[in-house]
A and B are shown apart, each in its own frame.
Chain A
Amino acid sequence: TCALWQLLFRVLSPLPAGNALASIALEVQARLVKSALCSQGYPRLALAQLPEDGSQGSRELLLALSWLLARGPVPEQMLAQTRVPLGDEMTVCQCEALASLGPPAPHMEAEGPVDVRHVQWLMGKLRFRWRQLVSSQQEQCALLSKIHLYTRGCHCDQNLGHLSVTEAEMLRDPEGGQKVSGAGAAHNLDLAYPKGLHFSCTPGVGPRTFWNDLWLIPRLLPGDWAAPLDPGGASACSLLSPLRVLLRTLEHESRRLEAVLAWRRAEPVFWQWMDTVLGTCAPEAPAAASQPTFLPWVPECGDGELELVVRELQTLEEELREAVERRRVAWEAKARGCGRGPEWSAARRAFRETVEKELGALQRCWEQDSGPAPAHGPHRLVRREDGAAGDRDLQAAELIRTLRSQEACLEAVLRQLQGQCRQELARLAGALPGLIWIPPPGR
């Protein structure tokens, strides 16, 4: 049973695999599993009522697992999470960016009046960071382009034609011991070393500095460089050469792929078995409209603050429930009061038409020249001279065009909203006699 809890936790957890997961207690994992299943709409109440120490309930857990497997391609999703990227990749769709926004931050009550100048200060810092991020990305693109250009004809796969950063780096320095000439301090390319943006080197122009530039790239690529590392071998990896580390991770990936294939072959047997399992369960009443919510709860911590947070969450939940009820009652009263009179339906029709028109305009503007929607997930960057693209390939020029038109749409909307804002401010300022209104310099 414990193993099933842990398996469910691993499947439902949004975090990538790592040593951190192993250290979470079983009760906590169980709680999180219940909470995640509940939020995904899992219908069986019996699971919610299981004890969290792993003493019973293996049948319910098995049913939950099969429910998840039936809903979506779980093994494939997990494979995608731990994929080893050999090429230089970039995502085209906005899904990842939107997903990583997460739930909105809790509303923090400011302690006393907040000085707007402090807020302006923080806003300015954010702006600077943003600009630096854009500059870094431009730098990364320029270097990637150079590497792709200089390694033309080096790849055994004719479709690709040139090397990616990983591939080129493996060729340059498979043992991880070489220093790059020209750099002041000696930095070994050690995959286990935390990536940092601080180094000094003299990039120059021309192919002779190619190896220098190549060495810069792993420092600039965000995130993924740590992904290929096998969690169990993180400390051991630092002693292995980069090439061996890469080979090892590729071997792990192959084994996982083979395991998934084996699963797919044996799957029909699993479903037949699950049918029998479901048959042995007592039929359940359909889940009540309001399920108990599960607050993630870490028992060992015993920190007073956490208990406070838990209590606050519970009160918040109560308040929300009451507020929802009140709103619903009020709206019903209002809607009933409006009645079905011709005035009301005419107004409603007018609203609907305006909204539809606006949405339609936005959508049209959005979809102009866009062609088929680009696929989700990361794409490998390949530089081609001849312009011959395969069916499933996306052309950078087209994507750029699409993005530019989307940007233009959004900017138009932004300008319109800013204009409305300015008008409103001017109206407010005009309402106060004797007030001189100095608008900020338009940007």
Chain B
Amino acid sequence: MSIVTVQLGQCGNQIGFEVFDALLSDSHSSQGLCCKRENEAYQASCKERFFSEEENGVPIARAVLVDMEPKVISQTLSKAAQSGRWKYGQHACFCQKQGSGNNWAYGYSVHGPRHEESIMNLIRKEVEKCDSFSGFFIIMSMAGGTGSGIGAFVTQNLQDQYSNSLKMNQIIWPYGTGEVIVQNYNSILTLSHLYRSSDALLVHENDAVHKICAKLMNIKQISFSDINQVLAHQLGSVFQPTYSAESSFHYRRNPLGDLMEHLVPHPEFKMLSIRNVPHMSENSLAYSTFTWAGLLKHLRQMLISNAKMEEGIDWHVRPSLSGPSSLGKMSLNKDLHFNTSIANLVILRGKDVQSADVEGFKDPALYTSWLEPVNAFNVWKTQRAFSKYEKSAVLVSNSQFLVKPLDMIVGKAWNMFAS
């Protein structure tokens, strides 16, 4: 089933481009470690989901690009066309000349309603192209004006007009020391609106991704393009085809639906994070070998110690031996270093994936008291390797990872408001 991507604002459009690029280059990769027929099925599934076919064979991304300034969109369109392997639809973008001035209200209350019809028309056209439509993937940042304000507005509209379709918002959490003065206001307004109209909020923190670029990829001068590529790699490893659970002869038809059903059925807990291992520069990759046991051990510790990457994991954090806390009561003095999860989904790709042992994630101590590990934890295994990594594991989790950052943002916003 197909997913329509809505790219909003500078951030959304730049990330969107990297995501489509990563998906397509992985699907064409020759290092999939599987037979030709398998590879073809993988490619076909990826294409059906994210691209539509044009007469001359060049796949067109199922995407709508929206921005209030023309510069980023035209850059994005030309980069895609230059690659020669895919492109955006000719009439798939909407832009204006004014910009939003990092003002959430301007995006939400002025631009949104003013351009509502044009934007929704574009989206409708894209949805009608899909034979089977699963849902929307909306990429936006929280701190600016266009992505956040228009993003909140558009998501609300999608909720009204496509109430049966799924909506996942990919949100960029701003740098703690970000440049936009009102980013905390913008963030809070965005989150509160999205919480009502979106089904799942997939959060990427700029600070965390920045560190991955610096420490794991060893990039000296980190540009937005580097950050976006790391992001795209993580998203790709989640959304590329995986086998359905019942039989491993077919690729899963509705990954978005399955993911949401596993992770965010509770209406009050919608925030998801992604962690993946391994992640390194191509040069280092050539000299590294991995075992599933090692990868999964790291991933598990990253989860419970709330680490965002492989380096610098705090191995002292351990689940408490007395088991999960009693019904609902958590003393305020409890050390919040241990990251409790509501639900986790682990996706494994690569060689010997069937032998990977995920028992460590089924420990009840990792989860809350009201959900058993059998319901809270799922694993998807696929043999076809992803993007040159012989073995890769990614964890999508609904956990407490955002409690601290959220507290900080709320605190800062309140201080600013009250001063």
Contact = CB atoms under 8 A, between A and B. Distances in A.
B253 interface: yes
A121 B43 CA distance: 34
Interface residues of B, number: 48
Interface string A138-182: 110011000000000000000000000000000000000000001
B131 A142 contact: yes
A211 B11 CA distance: 41
Interface in B380-415: none
Interface stretch (B16-24, B146-154, B207-215, B240-248): B240-248
Contacts of B40: 184
Interface residues of A, number: 39
Interface in A103-130: 113, 115, 117-118, 120-125, 127-129
Contact of A198 (B38, B244, B268, B369): B244
A136 B136 CA distance: 16
Contacts of A297: none
B1 A200 contact: no
A122 B257 CA distance: 15
B249 interface: yes
Interface stretch (A25-33, A201-209, A262-270, A421-429): A201-209
A279 to B, nearest CB: 60
Interface string B59-84: 00000000000000000000000000
Given A135-B164, A200-B41, A201-B44, A124 B131 contact: no
Contact of A121 (B244, B369, B371): B371
Nearest to B250: A198
A139 to B, nearest CB: 4
Nearest to B166: A131
Contacts of B268: 120
B131 A203 contact: yes
B47 A127 contact: no
Contacts of A120: 265-268
Q: Which residue of B131, B166, B251, B370 has the most chain A CB atoms within 10 A of its CB atom?
A: B131
B164 A134 contact: yes
A392 to B, nearest CB: 33
A183 interface: yes
B79 to A, nearest CB: 25
B117 interface: no
Contacts of B94: none
Contact of B165 (A123, A135, A205): A135
B264 A139 contact: no
A117 B372 CA distance: 12
Given A124-B266, A196-B246, A115 B370 contact: yes
A113 B327 CA distance: 10
Nearest to A183: B44
Interface string B26-63: 00000000000110111111011000110000000000
A414 to B, nearest CB: 15
Contacts of B328: 115
Interface in A187-224: 196-205, 213
A125 B343 CA distance: 13
B32 to A, nearest CB: 13
A118 B371 contact: yes
A310 interface: no
B132 interface: yes
Contacts of A143: 131
A309 B244 CA distance: 37
A185 interface: yes
A185 B371 contact: no
B129 A127 contact: no
Contacts of B260: 128
Contact of A127 (B43, B249, B250, B265): B265
Given A120-B267, A198-B246, A441-B196, A185 B131 contact: no
B124 to A, nearest CB: 14
A117 B369 CA distance: 10
A204 B53 contact: yes
21 contacts: A113-B327, A117-B368, A120-B267, A120-B268, A121-B375, A124-B264, A125-B265, A128-B257, A128-B261, A138-B133, A183-B44, A185-B41, A185-B249, A196-B247, A198-B253, A199-B253, A200-B41, A200-B241, A200-B253, A201-B48, A203-B132
Given A121-B371, A184-B44, 5 more contacts: A184-B45, A198-B252, A200-B45, A201-B44, A443-B196
Give me the 6 closest cross-chain CB pairs, A-B, nearest first.
A124-B265, A184-B41, A198-B250, A115-B370, A139-B132, A203-B131
